[in-house]
Amino acid sequence: MAQKKKSLIILRGLPGSGKTSLAYLLAEGRHPVFSIDDYFTDTESGNYQFEFSKNHLAYKNCEENTLAAMARGAEKIFVHNTFTLEWEMEPYFKMASELHYRVFVATVENRHGGHNRHGVNGEQLKKMAEKYKVVLL
């Protein structure tokens, strides 16, 4: 019997684009979903409180959660972060290669009139968009 291929699905895009909503929609309650936002979100109240000084811990936490799900053999794993810079995805590519996961990267655009829950203003969004690169291989 052929073994199912395991997949890591990376959803990237600017704040408010709908990455979180899409990740949970696609995961259908059956597959793990991770983000750096998880670190800053109180699990009981759902309140989000970003602390820039702890951002590196949030990145590490998301990577560790993803690695643990891969080690458990999760069939599909969804990671949704802005990933505006290519290097932010590199640890996930490395994990996926080492643990034999296919990687799919999808850009999510705000075509639904969504608003970001992080309070990122228009000027900040513009700066983020300018750094955003799509790599053609």
Q: What is the pLDDT of residue 113?
A: 77
Task: Give me the tens of pLDDT residue by residue for the chain, a chain 137 residues long.
Answer: 456 799 999 999 988 899 999 999 999 999 999 999 999 999 899 888 888 899 999 999 999 999 999 999 999 999 999 998 889 999 999 999 999 999 999 999 887 777 777 777 788 888 888 887 777 66
Cα angle 14-19-25, degrees, rounded to a multiple of 5: 165
> Which residues constitute the domain of residue 37?
6-131
User: Is residue 100 within 8 Å of residue 7, measured between CB atoms?
Assistant: no
CATH number of the domain bearing residue 32: 3.40.50.300
Within-domain flag for 137:
no
The total number of structural domains in the chain stands at 1
In a domain, 31, yes or no: yes
In terms of Cα–Cα distance, which of 76, 58, 90 is closest to 8?
A: 76
Sign of CA dihedral 46, 35, 108, 88: positive
Handedness of CA 120, 125, 127, 130 (dihedral sign): positive
